Amino acid sequence: MTLNQGVRTLRHSREGGNPCLNHRFYSCEPQRRASRPEARHTRTAMYGLVLAGGQSSRLGQDKTHVVHEGRTLLVRSAELLRRHMPEVYVSCRHPERVPAPWPVIVDETERIGPAGGIMTALKKLGGPVFALACDLPFMEDSFITRLLEAREARPKGALVTAWRLMDSDFFENLVAIYEPGALPLLEAGVRQGLYKLGRLIPAEHRHCVSYTEEERRFFFNVNYPDDLRLLQTSPDRP
């Protein structure tokens, strides 16, 4: 099975519907800040946020420690964002697992998933947050750039700029930009027991950018043992 076929098979089998500072920790030490990889440019006043707060229970091991092509998936995602914005944080519940020099925003919520990490970051940072999952081994700079450009052209009232699979209702809520104005909606939804990001932000507040079926492989993520085996054994690279 090729990677492209595997992505389609695994993802379609799971979609069953619309999926949709404390710190080293919040104020990072100057020497660590100076040692981070340099940004190529700054497109906008925005913070990068690598989402690494999951328990990896489906995978059976800590996905942030999975190594692909010489780097952990966590470090790869952080470095990817760092090339486009000057400040990148890691959202997690166990800061001791995050390698230097990456500063951490400790998720203040309990058992509500990525929404909790995004809410905490919006509160702590006070600006727009580019949220990126920690387990996307093939995500590329062009998708970061295109989303940043789309955000600049977002309509009035748009609080989230997100990727969407073309001709579908499948949103990539973990490759998305969240505006500070999204925080009240997230908090209100969580109070009602809604934890899935796809249900927390109404359609009228979303600005979507479409990617094609051929580009879907770049959004391949490592959630299950089959995903990890596919990553490690498939010769079909994007």
Q: How far is residue 94 from each of residues 24, 52, 59, 203, measured CA to CA in Å?
A: 11, 9, 18, 33
Any residues with CB less than 8 A from the CB of 12 and at least 6 apart, and which?
Answer: none
Domains and CATH numbers, the chain: 3-13+22-233 (3.90.550.10)
Residue 182 CB coordination number (10 Å): 24
- How far apart, in whole angstroms, are the C-alpha atoms of residue 101 and residue 42? 20
Q: Provide the pLDDT for residue 3.
A: 53
**Strand partners for 89:** 49
Q: Provide the pLDDT for residue 117.
A: 96
Of 198, 211, 219, 199, whose CA–CA distance to 150 is shortest?
211
Helix (H), strand (E) at residue 147: helix 141-152
pLDDT per residue as tens, the chain (238 positions): 555 555 444 444 444 333 334 434 443 332 333 344 444 433 458 999 999 976 555 665 678 778 888 899 999 999 999 999 999 999 998 898 899 899 999 998 888 999 999 999 999 999 999 999 999 999 999 999 999 999 999 999 999 999 999 989 899 999 999 999 999 999 999 999 999 998 999 999 999 999 999 999 999 988 777 887 888 787 456 5
Q: What angle do CA 184, 82, 128 make, to 5 degrees?
A: 15
Any residues with CB less than 8 A from the CB of 28 and at least 6 apart, and which?
Answer: 101, 103
